[in-house]
Amino acid sequence: MTTPFVRLALPTLALVFLLAPADARAEYRYLCTSIPSACTYTGPHTPGLKADVCYGRTTGIRLKGTAPCPSGSWPYFVEAGEVVDPVTNAVVAYIPLDDACDQPGICVDGPPPGGAQEYPMCCIDDTCYSGSSCGGTLWWCNDGVCNADGTITCFDKDPN
């Protein structure tokens, strides 16, 4: 026979575990998912920030700290990013994209021509366009060239 304490303690303990966040990331929405325009697309090797931030259109992104966000800004969580001004706690948040050259058929083998640049690109099959909206898959191109027809040719300088 169980005591009244055990009958009350077990459900209370279970409720605490259900309501408690698993970690800090569970407390706020992801900034880059909620407001993609606030974040910068980058390649797969980006610094991880894993921090709560405050975001407002006029204030930008700042580390949150323990106080509530200032008026006109709201709390979010940033997975990838970095503090760019330690005095103001200004943050740049990143959306890391997979390397296009890790996918067969997207990149051209060989060294990139002079003037090649990094691009976020949107690909439909093996045709890629600069930017992040074409209805296809987003990739990161480390060495790309923008063609006259608006497409991007991505070069794999280290083909396997």
CA atoms within 13 A on the CB side of 44: 9
Nearest alpha carbon to residue 142 among 152, 150, 133, 134: 152
Tell whether 3 is covered by a domain: no
Is residue 15 situated within a structural domain?
A: no
Give the C-alpha separation, 146 to 128, whole Å. 10
Residues 81 and 108 in one domain: no
Q: Which is more confidently placed, 45 or 131?
A: 45
Percent of the chain clearing pLDDT 70 (strictly above): 82
CA distance 76 to 55: 7
What pLDDT does residue 39 have?
96
Residue 130 sits in the same domain as residue 107: yes
**What local confidence, expressed as pLDDT, does residue 26 receive?**
55
Domain presence at residue 5: no
Domain membership of residue 4 (yes or no) is no
From residue 97, give the alpha-carbon distance in Å to each of 81, 120, 129, 130, 142: 13, 8, 15, 14, 11
State mean pLDDT over 110-137: 88
Residue-level pLDDT at 50? 95
Residue 118 sits in the same domain as residue 79: no
Q: State the pTM of this model.
A: 0.74
| In a domain? residue 17 | no
My answer on whether 107 and 131 are in the same domain is yes
What pLDDT was estimated at residue 7?
45
Residue 2 lies in a domain: no
Residue 49 burial by Cβ neighbours in a 10 Å radius (0-12, 13-18, 19+): buried
Q: Is 152 helix (H, G, I), strand (E, B) or coil?
A: strand
Looking at the structure of the chain, the number of domains it has is 2
Q: For residues 78 and 139, state if they share a domain.
A: no
Q: Which residue segment(s) compose the domain that 106 sits in?
A: 100-156
